[in-house]
Amino acid sequence: MADTSVLAPSPGVPRAAINTGAGLWSSSLVVAGRMVRKFVRTPQLIVFTAIQSALFLLMFRFAFGGAIGTGGSLSYVNFLVPGFITTTVLWAGMGAATGVAEDVEHGFVDRLQSLPIPRAAVLIGRSLADTALIVWALAIAAIFGFAVGFRLQGSVSGAVAAFGLCVVFGFAFEWVFIVLGLVGGNAQAAQQMGLMITPLVFLSSAYVPVRSMPGGVRQFSENQPLTPMVDAVRGLATGAGGKALLEHSTGYYIGLSLVWAAAIFAVFGLLAVVRFTRRQ
Amino acid sequence: MIPILEARGLTKRFGKTQALAGLDLVARPGRVVALLGPNGAGKTTFVRAVATLLRPDAGTLHVDGIDALQKPAKVRQVIGLAGQFAAVEEAMTGRENLQMVGRLFGLGRKEAKAAAVRVLDQMQLAADADRLVRTYSGGMRRRIDLGISLVGTPRLLLLDEPTTGLDPGSRIQLWEAIRGLVATGTDILLTTQYLDEADRLASDIVIIDHGKVIAAGTPAELKTRAGDDMIEVHVRDADDLPAVSGVLAKIGHDPRIDVPQRRAYVAVDDGSSRLMEVLRVLDQQGVTVEDVSLRRPTLDEVFLALTGKPAQTTDSPRQPAGA
């Protein structure tokens, strides 16, 4: 230790830099880049997500489907697939809760927060990357949908709009999962909390017509955010047969679902940023 | 000269736990400071406060002259942090990890690449630069983690228990890497539970317990206060211990007896010459000695010497995050 007790900075070595740090946008992109690489290089994630999604669809299409009436001229497969694709945003987004909790647990968040970047960039980057993953999951879900017999009855532009709506919903719900990940403390707890969305998925118009549900359950289903989202996507994708099942015009459901998405994003985005940027 | 780190009366409470209880610490530039203390002493809490990851309840904290409580964002421009976990992305290569953090530090693409090359050389990881981190050994992970904190060429590098959980070989490699940094003039604050680690790396050691500094000085100064070397005598028959203790009392100060382990030990100033003396006298008295050793004082013994009470160990964590 004698050689370390008196130190003189040696010449030629980069030292004592002041790092101004990357701006909000570029640091968000760098953080997002990390997430995308992680996903692409972990094949288990991709394969497992796809298999889970396929099993789910097959179960409803071929096991339960025969017993579920749509209450109109629309066939069950054409009723089911738009609902299935919409709920994919929740199944795919749920991983964010675990991912965020892991990053907190393993010190990755500490590292990012000790860097000279806007702290919100860590969250924005994550939500951007996870939204990209949701786009991927939606594409897979749509391919599966066509494979089990779904046929588009609305216009192509309507289908594109439906897909776009799903991405918007996915982005909004993403912030719910980010908050759960931050609050959860560890990956397992966060995963359990994420699974609490299951009732939201099943008590909606995604898999069965809300009209078939008994009083209280039906009231919940009609007034929760996922139902207008599913109805909007269904209205856009299924043409006259689907529209006949809806009380209001497709435009009404699009508007209502976007209001919901905006509200979810506003509330949970704020919660996430407050929780994340506040020093204990 | 502006201190690289200056903490005055820092306090921090988590619920019922007083993690920092009026901590004072001044580190001059050009020094490597080791924060030494048992689990729950407040080491990690202090490092997190310096890294602006948590806000102290009271007190003042300056890093390189910048007020860390008023201008945390400015502090982040001059520090590097390597925490207790190797916070690296496993699905990326070592080089990609370094470039990513370089970009976050605000370097351009080319600069980030150059910085990654420099750090890979510094950490002797150039040969493994393009392998995914998930294929790295524990020691390599720690080195790439240390490297990441260097991409921004920080003025103050914070290392929280850098070698915890490493095998002895990897530990020595990491020590070498850290000593290399010292030679290039990076100021370092590191925390450790190991006296030998502090001894090998630091120019100043600050011993903390219960969130307070209980002693500070160069390793030599502290060890003089604890006794330079320890002579330890193991006997076959525990009944001989009082006699051994009597002999030890003549050559050192305040010998201790450990009956269950059948040993007695004492701190002495000049170990090697005293060792012969102890053996000669014990032989004359007819005490059967099983083993005699000359060794450095342990952290426990330094604590004992400095505080008069044994160090609290892992049995009584006083802080939530095992800090």
Using one digit for the tens of pLDDT, what is the confidence trace for B174-206?
888 888 887 777 899 999 888 788 888 888 999
For B200, which residue in chain A has the nearest alpha carbon? A1
Q: Which of A7, A21, A279 sits opposite B77 (nearest CB)?
A: A21
Beta partners for residue B208, in sequence order: B213
Q: Which residues contact A63 (CB under 8 A, 6 or more apart)?
A: none
CB of A15 within 8 Å of a chain B CB? The answer is yes
User: Where are the strands (E) in A178-223, listed by range?
Assistant: none
pLDDT of residue A215: 87
A207 token code pair:
């898999």
Across B252-280, b (16+ Cβ under 10 Å) vs e yields: beebeeeeeebbbbbbbeebeebbeebee
Q: What is the CA radius of gyration of chain A?
A: 23
A32 contacts on B by Cβ (under 8 Å) = none
Q: Which residues contact B181 (CB under 8 A, 6 or more apart)?
A: B122, B150, B157, B188
H or E element in which residue B257 lies: strand B253-258
What ipTM was estimated for this complex? 0.84
pLDDT of residue B253: 76
Closest to B116 measured CA to CA, from B144, B89, B142, B136: B144
Classified as helix, coil or strand, A10 is coil
CB of B72 within 8 Å of a chain A CB? The answer is yes
Q: Which of B53, B107, B219 sits opposite A114 (nearest CB)?
A: B53
Q: Which of B14, B89, B218 sits opposite A34 (nearest CB)?
A: B89
The low-confidence residues of chain A, meaning pLDDT below 70, are 1-17, 279-280
d(CA B224, CA B229): 9
CA A191 to chain centre: 14
H or E element in which residue B166 lies: none
**Min distance A103 CA to chain B CA atoms (Å):** 8
Determine the straight-line distance between the first and last CA of chain A, rounded to whole angstroms: 37
DSSP β-ladder status, B187-192 and B156-160: parallel
Report whether B104 contacts A112 (CB < 8 A). yes
Say yes or no to pLDDT of B319 above 60. no
> From edge to edge, which strands make up the β-sheet containing B58-63?
B17-27, B5-14, B58-63, B66-67
Say yes or no to pLDDT of B135 above 90. yes
Average pLDDT over residues B2-6: 90
**Min distance A102 CA to chain B CA atoms (Å):** 11
B30, B31, B73, B158, B202 from B2: Cα distances, Å: 11, 13, 19, 18, 20
B22: confidence class by pLDDT, cuts 50, 70, 90:
very high
| Residue with the larger pLDDT of the pair B306 and A221 | A221
**Min distance B257 CA to chain A CA atoms (Å):** 32
Q: What is the pTM of this model?
A: 0.82
Would you call B101 and A106 a contact, using CB atoms and an 8 Å cutoff? Answer: no
Say yes or no to pLDDT of B316 above 50. no
B52 contacts on A by Cβ (under 8 Å) = 113-114, 279
pLDDT of residue B307: 65
pLDDT of residue B260: 87
pLDDT of residue A1: 38
| Residue with the larger pLDDT of the pair A181 and B222 | A181
Per-residue pLDDT of B92-134, as tens digits, reads 999 999 999 999 999 999 999 999 999 999 888 999 999 999 9
CA A234 to chain centre: 19
B48 contacts on A by Cβ (under 8 Å) = 110
B221 token code pair:
């100064």
pLDDT of residue B314: 39
Closest to A229 measured CA to CA, from A179, A273, A263, A178: A263
Say yes or no to pLDDT of B298 above 80. no
B51 contacts on A by Cβ (under 8 Å) = 110, 114
Would you tell me the crossing angle of helices B168-184 and B109-122 to the nearest 10 degrees?
120
pLDDT of residue B28: 87
B136: confidence class by pLDDT, cuts 50, 70, 90:
very high
A70 token code pair:
């749509």
pLDDT of residue A129: 93
CB of B91 within 8 Å of a chain A CB? The answer is yes
Would you call B32 and A10 a contact, using CB atoms and an 8 Å cutoff? Answer: no
Q: Which residues contact A274 (CB under 8 A, 6 or more apart)?
A: none
Beta partners for residue B156, in sequence order: B79, B187
Say yes or no to pLDDT of B251 above 60. yes
d(CA A209, CA A231): 10
Say yes or no to pLDDT of B302 above 80. no
Report whether A127 contacts A174 (CB < 8 A). yes
Q: Locate tokens 């918007």: which residue?
A: A168
d(CA A55, CA A76): 17
Tell me which residues of chain A, numbers 83 to 122, contact chain B at a CB-CB cutoff of 8 Å: 106-108, 110-117
